[in-house]
Amino acid sequence: MTSQVKVLPSGHAFSVEAHETILEAALRQGVGLPYGCRDGACGACKGKVLEGEVALDGYQERTLTAQERAEGLALFCCARPQGDVTIEVREVSGIGDIQIKTLPCRVEKIDKVHDVAILRLKLPVSERLQFLAGQYIDILMKDGKKRSFSIANAPHDDAYLELHIRHQPGGSFSDYVFNQMKEREILRFKGPMGAFFLREDSDKPAIFVASGTGFAPVKGIIEHAIHQGIDRPLIIYWGARTRADLYMAEMAEGWQASHPNITFVPVLSEALHEDVWTGRTGFVHQAVLEDFADLSGYQVYACGAPVMVEAAHSAFTRERGLPETEFFSDAFFLSKDVGAPTK
């Protein structure tokens, strides 16, 4: 059975086959619904069902509460229409024009900085991956599992795809990357995916809040903004435990030194004595709260550990007046395989 979906306020309409979710059908037909994990975990695709009914596949209850379901909200990555439906969701411009591909790639280079492996993946000569700065790819494993990693380079610099992979002891994939992976090895991936990218139709100052390797997509976005000559204020808060965990701090400091509109604020939560740290300390989202009494005129892009993303969203919208529509996030979840980040 084929169902018809109408999207408000845009008025876009598309068909959904019986085997598809609303999100899958939208992406297939170039309708830019927001999404992140595509697995019912992050809430990026949440919207309202105005008319008709949907059935929901498995999802995390903290992402869609019983109260929200009663109010007509749904996660469109898990929603299958039961007949024609009308939904309300804020579409994302740009995603619909980008084709999601499954491609091979070669591990061109592996650099290890502290406990982060920086991979550079080379695509076949005849292929090019079109993506938006900040999106991610799924590395497809031989056992059928996948590992999701943000693309850390900007689209204009696409000779390689750059990934930042933190070593998580006990995590089969990160252990493999650190202990066994060799240069020139062939991998397969699917992408690009995700709705974490700079909204270039806005001139509002943008605040980036990253924890750990959540810096990776921020790096891609900032490099893209510099390339495009975007001169709106871009303020980067990067939280880590120790100084060594700020594995590309010199690059971020260089952005600040070279571009008057870019500010870099590193924040350490567990600075070591040998760090001789005189900078900001504590939780990274708390540093933003200390610096801004009113966020009503800003955009915020948060990426990293779910606890940080959730704390930032709650505090910024409830305590500092940030509009819900100006908070964009990409949370890194751990799969059941310890240390395997997924979104």
The residues spanned by each domain of the chain are: 3-95, 99-193, 206-342
Q: Is the pTM of this model over 0.75?
A: yes
Answer whether residue 96 shows pLDDT above 80: no
The residue count of the chain comes to 343
Which class is 206-342 in CATH? alpha beta
CATH code linked to domain 3-95 = 3.10.20.30
Strands (E), 243-318: 262-268, 280-281, 299-304
* pLDDT at residue 334, as a whole number: 53
Q: How many CA atoms lie within 13 A of 338 on its CB side?
A: 5
Answer whether residue 144 shows pLDDT above 90: no
Please state the rounded mean pLDDT for residues 302-326: 95
Annotation: CATH topology of 99-193: Elongation Factor Tu (Ef-tu); domain 3 (2.40.30)
Give bridge partners of residue 4 from the DSSP assignment.
15
Report the percentage of the chain scoring pLDDT > 90: 78
> Judging by beta carbons within 10 Å of its beta carbon (0-12, 13-18, 19+), is residue 329 exposed, middle or buried?
buried
Distance, CA of 131 to CA of 64 (rounded, Å): 29
Per residue in 14-65, pLDDT tens?
999 999 999 999 988 878 888 877 888 888 899 999 999 999 988 888 889 9
Amino acid at 282: G
Strands (E), 29-170: 46-51, 54-56, 73-75, 79-81, 85-88, 101-113, 116-122, 136-140, 146-150, 161-166
